[in-house]
Amino acid sequence: MTDASNTAVGAVLQQFVNDSWQPLGFYSSKLSDTQQKYSAYDRELLAIYMAIKHFRNQIEGRQLTIYTDHKPITYAFAKIGTDSETPRRTRQLLFISEFTTDIRHVSGEGNAVADALSRVDAITCPTTINFEELSAAQSDDATLTHLLQDTDSSAKLKRIFLPSGQTSIVCDLTSKNARPYLPEKFRKLTFDYIHNMSHPGIRTSRKLMSERYFWPNMNRDVGNWAKSCIQCQRAKVQRHVISDLGRFSPSERFGHIHVDIVGPLPTTTDDYKYLLTIIDRCTGWPEAFPMKDISADSVAKVILEGWIARYGCPSKLTSDQGKQFESNLFIN
């Protein structure tokens, strides 16, 4: 079942078992500014298209019937190829036809779930804040008094009267929504109420709080409270992929060397643009040899003439597994 409002689309995936519908999944998505300008027919068709894309893994290869409360959509497949269909409608209908062509009409009362999911912007959560207590706390708040007197503050604070007409609270009007200023005793209480609904991360918690309320250093406080949430620490999986440092057995002088290639570097007058670096594991003695190219033959020649001829053949050689050091010339 699908539905679309002026601002969002909603859908519910159900199966009919034992004479009743059982939900398998829910979907809701806000429409972009361009999509909100679509006609009612195009928004309803878009809702079907987006819902099928969302539930694709669950419905592929199964019998599917689409229910919508917009009756003209039920005749959509009969219009494919006619002049009345736009290319966008045709593309969406062709995608839908890969899963089903059975679109049926259902009354608005029978499509209540999808209708509610398409109007998520109209859903408001209750608040635990007593606005009369908030107003009294604001009148005694020294920080708020300082902000009201500070002409350089970026906050646009204004006292707004509630519908009752007897109580007023100070709100910040910087954004499109009036955000009440919260004195210190209301801050943690309000954060716990919003955060404990779904335990979002730090970034989302900051967004949820900043959209509704205001106080100085809000992001810092919300970030600290979100980090210290015990439920989040117990339930959320944090992956710390940190490998142990490599351990090397003790070696004799010049018996174990580490090699690497640096470059390309700015070319010299003699056409050198690479460096072969060699470090002895035991003594830490470093040397660097200029190279014109980094082929396996050139690297082997530099190691032989620049290191082995002077310090002897090492028993171990460690590299970053570059293709030169993995070639048959080095292996054999």
Task: Give yes or no for residue 302 having a pLDDT over 60.
Answer: yes
Residue 67 pLDDT grade (very low, low, confident, very high; cuts 50, 70, 90): very high
Q: Are strands 103-105 and 66-68 parallel, antiparallel or unpaired?
A: parallel
CB 297 within 8 A of CB 288: no
Which whole number is the average pLDDT over 47-64?
Answer: 90
Task: Give yes or no for residue 124 having a pLDDT over 60.
Answer: no
Tracing tokens 């050689």 back to the chain, one arrives at 317
Tens of pLDDT, residue by residue over 183-231, are: 888 888 888 888 888 888 889 989 988 888 888 888 999 999 988 888 8
- Report pLDDT for 127: 58
Residues of the chain with pLDDT > 90: what percent?
Answer: 17
Q: Which residues contact 97 (CB under 8 A, 6 or more apart)?
A: 77
| Identity of the amino acid at 163 | P
Nearest one of 165, 133, 170 to 149, comparing CA atoms: 170
Residues of the chain with pLDDT > 70: what percent?
Answer: 92
Give the number of residues written for the chain: 332
Q: Which residues contact 311 (CB under 8 A, 6 or more apart)?
A: 254, 280
Burial letters for 231-256: b for 16+ Cβ neighbours within 10 Å, e otherwise?
ebeeeeeeeeeeeeeeeeeebeebbb
CB 191 within 8 A of CB 222: yes
Q: Where are the domains of the chain?
A: 2-122, 131-235, 256-331
Averaged confidence pLDDT in the chain: 84
- pTM for the full predicted model: 0.45
- Report pLDDT for 332: 66
- Report pLDDT for 122: 65
Nearest one of 326, 278, 130, 142 to 216, comparing CA atoms: 142
Task: Give yes or no for residue 23 having a pLDDT over 80.
Answer: yes
Query: Tell me, which fold does domain 2-122 have in CATH?
Result: Nucleotidyltransferase; domain 5 (3.30.420)
The mean-pLDDT minimum among 35-39, 71-75, 77-81, 256-260 falls in 77-81
Q: Are strands 20-30 and 8-17 parallel, antiparallel or unpaired?
A: antiparallel
Which whole number is the average pLDDT over 159-166?
Answer: 76
Tens of pLDDT, residue by residue over 260-271, are: 888 888 888 888
User: Higher-confidence residue: 42 or 251?
Assistant: 42
CATH (one of 1.10.340.70, 3.40.50.1370, 1.10.101.10, 1.10.260.40) for 131-235: 1.10.340.70
Which whole number is the average pLDDT over 25-53?
Answer: 91
Residue 305 pLDDT grade (very low, low, confident, very high; cuts 50, 70, 90): confident
Residue 125 pLDDT grade (very low, low, confident, very high; cuts 50, 70, 90): low
Q: Which residues contact 70 (CB under 8 A, 6 or more apart)?
A: 4, 40, 41, 44, 105
CA pair distance 230, 235, nearest whole angstrom: 9
CA pair distance 205, 224, nearest whole angstrom: 11
- Report pLDDT for 169: 84
| Identity of the amino acid at 89 | R
The answer to whether domain 2-122 and domain 256-331 are alike in fold is yes
Pair of tokens at residue 189: 């209480």
Residue 53 pLDDT grade (very low, low, confident, very high; cuts 50, 70, 90): very high
Dihedral (Cα; 219, 223, 224, 230), 10-degree rounding: 150
Task: Give yes or no for residue 152 having a pLDDT over 80.
Answer: no
Task: Give yes or no for residue 131 having a pLDDT over 80.
Answer: no
Q: Are strands 179-180 and 168-172 parallel, antiparallel or unpaired?
A: antiparallel
- Report pLDDT for 44: 92
Angle between helices 131-139 and 184-195 (to 10 degrees): 140
- Report pLDDT for 238: 62
- Report pLDDT for 51: 92
User: Higher-confidence residue: 250 or 156?
Assistant: 156
Q: Is the dihedral of CA 16, 20, 23, 27 positive or negative?
A: positive
- Report pLDDT for 224: 92
Does domain 256-331 match CATH 3.40.440.10? no
